[in-house]
Amino acid sequence: MRYHPHTPEDVRAMLDAVGAKSLDDLFRSIPEKLRLKRPVDVPPALDEISLFAEFQRLAGRNDVSHPPFAGAGCYPHHVPPAVDQLLLRGEFFTAYTPYQPEVSQGTLQALFEWQTFVCLLTGLDVSNASMYDGATATAEAALMATRLTGRKQIVVSAALHPEYRKVLATYLRSTHDEIAVVPFGADGRTDLRALEKAVGPSTACVIVGWPNFLGVVEPLPEIAKIAKQAGALTITATAEAVSLGLLQAPGALGADVAVGSFQSFGNPMTFGGPAPGFFATREANVRQMPGRVCGATLDKHGKRGFVLTLSTREQHIRREKATSNICTNSGLTALAATIHLSLLGRAGLSHLARLNHARARMLREAMERAGCKAIFSGPYFNEQAFDVGDAEEVVTRLAKRGVLAGAPLGRWYPDHPRAKGALLCVATELHSEELIQLFARTVRG
Amino acid sequence: MRYHPHTPEDVRAMLDAVGAKSLDDLFRSIPEKLRLKRPVDVPPALDEISLFAEFQRLAGRNDVSHPPFAGAGCYPHHVPPAVDQLLLRGEFFTAYTPYQPEVSQGTLQALFEWQTFVCLLTGLDVSNASMYDGATATAEAALMATRLTGRKQIVVSAALHPEYRKVLATYLRSTHDEIAVVPFGADGRTDLRALEKAVGPSTACVIVGWPNFLGVVEPLPEIAKIAKQAGALTITATAEAVSLGLLQAPGALGADVAVGSFQSFGNPMTFGGPAPGFFATREANVRQMPGRVCGATLDKHGKRGFVLTLSTREQHIRREKATSNICTNSGLTALAATIHLSLLGRAGLSHLARLNHARARMLREAMERAGCKAIFSGPYFNEQAFDVGDAEEVVTRLAKRGVLAGAPLGRWYPDHPRAKGALLCVATELHSEELIQLFARTVRG
Amino acid sequence: MSNLTGWKPTMEKEAKGPGLDGGAGAGGATRGLVHEEALLFERGSTGRCGVSLPPLPPGHDAGDLPAELRRDGVDGLPEISELEVIRHFTRISIWNHGIDTGFYPLGSCTMKYNPKSSEALARLPGFANLHPLAPPEACQGALELMWHLERALSEIAGLDTTALSPAAGAHGELCGLMVIRAHHLAKGNPRRKVLLPDTAHGTNPASAALNGYEVQQLASGPDGRLHPETVRAAMDEDVAAIMLTNPNTLGIFESHIQEIADLVHAKGGLVYADGANMNALLGVARPGDMGVDVIQYNLHKTFATPHGGGGPGSGPVAVRAHLAQYLPLPLVVKEGDAFRLVTSEKERPATVGKLREFWGNFAMFVRAWALIREYGPEGVAQTGRLAVLNANYVRALLKGVYNLPYETDSLHEVVFDDKLQKANGISTMDVAKRLVDHGFHPPTIYFPLVVAGALMIEPTETESKETLERFVAAMKAIAEEAKTDPDALHAAPTRTFRARLDETRAARKPVLRWKPGMKVE
Amino acid sequence: MSNLTGWKPTMEKEAKGPGLDGGAGAGGATRGLVHEEALLFERGSTGRCGVSLPPLPPGHDAGDLPAELRRDGVDGLPEISELEVIRHFTRISIWNHGIDTGFYPLGSCTMKYNPKSSEALARLPGFANLHPLAPPEACQGALELMWHLERALSEIAGLDTTALSPAAGAHGELCGLMVIRAHHLAKGNPRRKVLLPDTAHGTNPASAALNGYEVQQLASGPDGRLHPETVRAAMDEDVAAIMLTNPNTLGIFESHIQEIADLVHAKGGLVYADGANMNALLGVARPGDMGVDVIQYNLHKTFATPHGGGGPGSGPVAVRAHLAQYLPLPLVVKEGDAFRLVTSEKERPATVGKLREFWGNFAMFVRAWALIREYGPEGVAQTGRLAVLNANYVRALLKGVYNLPYETDSLHEVVFDDKLQKANGISTMDVAKRLVDHGFHPPTIYFPLVVAGALMIEPTETESKETLERFVAAMKAIAEEAKTDPDALHAAPTRTFRARLDETRAARKPVLRWKPGMKVE
Ligand SMILES: Cc1ncc(COP(=O)(O)O)c(C=O)c1O
Ligand SMILES: Cc1ncc(COP(=O)(O)O)c(C=O)c1O
Tens digits of per-residue pLDDT, A236-246? 999 999 999 99
Minimum CA–CA partner of D44 in chain C: C466
* Helices C82-93 and A105-122, packing angle to 10 deg: 140
For residues B135 and B74, the answer to whether their CB atoms sit within 8 Å is: no
Question: Where does the pLDDT of residue A118 fall: very low under 50, low under 70, confident under 90, or very high at 90 and above?
Answer: very high
C488 touches chain A (CB under 8 A): no
**D17 pLDDT more than 60:** no
Secondary structure (3-state) at C244? strand
User: pLDDT value at position C9?
Assistant: 33
| Pair D312, B332: CB distance under 8 Å | yes
List, as one string, the DSSP characters of B383-402.
EEEEE-S-HHHHHHHHHTTT
Tell me the nearest-neighbour CA distance from A439 into chain B, angstroms: 18
Between the CA of A83 and the centroid of ligand 1 the distance, in Å, is: 28
pLDDT greater than 90 at residue A316: no
Say if residue D8's pLDDT is above 90: no
Gyration radius of chain A's alpha carbons: 25
Asked if C127 is an interface residue toward chain A (Cβ–Cβ < 8 A), one would say yes
Q: Which residue, by CA, sits nearest to atom 5 of ligand 2?
A: D169
Residues C288, C258 contacting (CB under 8 angstroms): no
HSE-up (13 A, CA, CB side) for residue C447: 21
Chain D residue with CA closest to C375: the answer is: D52
Chain B CB contacts of D129 under 8 Å are: 64, 67, 76, 268-269
Average pLDDT over chain D, rounded to an integer: 94
What size, in residues, is chain C? Answer: 521
Distance between first and last Cα of chain A? 54
Q: What is the pLDDT of residues D25-48, one digit of tens each?
A: 999 999 999 999 999 999 866 789
Residue B49 Cα, gap to closest chain D Cα (Å): 10
CA–CA distance, D440 with D449 (Å, rounded to integer): 23
With beta carbons less than 8 A apart as the criterion, state whether D403 and D419 touch: yes
pLDDT score recorded for residue C15: 30
Distance CA D351, CA D345 (A): 7
**Residues of B whose CB is below 8 A from D307:** 93-97, 328, 331
**From the CA of C412, which ligand is nearest?**
1
Q: How far apart are CA D384 and CA D378, in angstroms?
A: 10
Burial of D232 (0-12, 13-18, 19+ CB in 10 A): middle
pLDDT at D23 over 80: no
pLDDT at A302 over 50: yes
Does C53 lie at the interface with B, CB-CB under 8 angstroms?
Answer: yes
The letter for the amino acid at D285 is A
Phi/psi at C441 (5° precision): -80, 140
Q: What is the pLDDT of residue C16?
A: 32
Please tell me the residue having the least CA distance from ligand 2 atom 16: D108
Query: For residues C13 and C470, what is the distance between their CA atoms, to the nearest angstrom?
Result: 12
**Residue D337, number of CB atoms within 10 A of its CB:** 7
pLDDT for D278: 98
pLDDT attached to residue C43: 83
State the closest ligand 2 atom to the C-alpha of D245, by its place in the atom list counted from 1. 1
State the pLDDT at residue C22. Answer: 54
Who wins on pLDDT, A23 or B318?
A23
Pick from A9, A48, A304: CB nearest D52? A48
Task: Work out the angle at residue C378's Cα, subtended by the Cα atoms of residues C377 and C383, and round it to the nearest 5 degrees.
Answer: 105
Instruction: Please give the share of chain D, as a percent, with pLDDT higher than 70.
Output: 95
Residue D394 and residue D457 in contact, taking contact as beta carbons nearer than 8 Å:
yes
Instruction: List CB contacts of A87: < 8 A, sequence separation 6 or more.
Output: A93, A332, A335, A336, A339
Longest dimension (CA), chain A: 81
Going by C-alpha positions, the residue among B175, B416, B126, B440 that lies closest to residue B284 is: B126
Strands A203-209 and A153-157, by their bridges, are parallel
Residue D7: pLDDT band (50, 70, 90) is: very low
Chain C CB contacts of A379 under 8 Å are 64-66, 69
- pTM of the prediction? 0.97
In chain C, how many H helices and how many E strands?
Answer: 17, 13
Residues of D in contact with C28 (CB under 8 A): 35-37, 91
Q: Is D80 an 8 Å CB contact of chain B?
A: yes
Cα gap C383→C283, rounded to integer Å: 8
Q: In a structure prediction context, what are the per-residue pLDDT tens digits for chain C, which is 521 residues long?
A: 333 333 333 333 333 333 444 578 999 999 999 999 999 999 866 789 999 999 999 988 889 999 999 999 999 999 999 999 999 999 999 999 999 999 999 999 999 999 999 999 999 999 999 999 999 999 999 999 999 999 999 999 999 999 999 999 999 999 999 999 999 999 999 999 999 999 999 999 999 999 999 999 999 999 999 999 999 999 999 999 999 999 999 999 999 999 999 999 999 999 999 999 999 999 999 999 999 999 999 999 999 999 999 999 999 999 999 999 999 999 999 999 999 999 999 999 999 999 999 999 999 999 999 999 999 999 999 999 999 999 999 999 999 999 999 999 999 999 999 999 999 999 999 999 999 999 999 999 999 999 999 999 999 999 999 999 999 999 999 999 999 999 999 999 999 999 999 999 999 999 999 998 888 87
Neighbours of B177 (CB within 10 A): 11
What residues contact A262, with CB distance under 8 A and at least 6 apart? Answer: A118, A241, A275, A276, A277, A278, A333, A334, A337
ipTM > 0.90, yes or no: yes
Within an 8 Å CB–CB cutoff, is residue A46 touching chain B?
Answer: no
Considering only alpha carbons, which residue of chain D is nearest residue A302? Answer: D6
Q: Is D108's C-beta closer than 6 angstroms to any atom of ligand 2?
A: yes
Q: Count H helices and E strands in chain D, helices first.
A: 16, 13
Average pLDDT, integer, range A355-375: 97
Whether pLDDT at D18 is above 80: no
For C72, which of A52, A68, A350 is closest by C-beta distance?
A350
**pLDDT tens for residues B335-381?**
999 999 999 999 999 999 999 999 999 999 999 999 999 999 999 99
H-run or E-run covering D150: helix D140-157
B320 interfaces chain C, CB cutoff of 8 Å: no
* Nearest of A427, A362, A423, A426 to residue A388 by alpha carbon: A423
Judge: A80–B48 Cβ closer than 8 Å, yes or no.
Answer: yes
A9-44 pLDDT tens trace? 999 999 999 999 999 999 999 999 999 999 999 999
Which is nearest to A141 in space by CA: A195, A203, A204? A204
**Is the confidence at residue D15, as pLDDT, over 60?**
no
Kindly state the average pLDDT of the residues D323-331.
Answer: 98
d(CA A207, CA D109): 58
Nearest-CA neighbor of B7 among C169, D466, A81, C272?
A: D466
Residue among B57, B343, B395 whose CB faces D85 most closely: B343
Containing A258, the helix (H) or strand (E) segment is: strand A257-261
Give the D window 354-413 contacts with B, CB below 8 Å.
354-364, 366, 370, 372-383, 385-386, 388-390, 392-393, 395-397, 408-409, 411
Please report the residues numbered 212 through 231 in chain B whose beta carbons come closer than 8 angstroms to any beta carbon of chain D: 217, 220-221
**Whole-number pLDDT of residue C5:** 35
Where would I find the H helices in D215-298?
228-234, 257-266
At B154 the three-state DSSP class reads: strand
- The verdict on a CB contact (< 8 Å) between D211 and B341 is no
In the reported structure, the alpha carbon of residue D295 is separated from the centroid of ligand 2 by a whole-number distance in angstroms of: 13
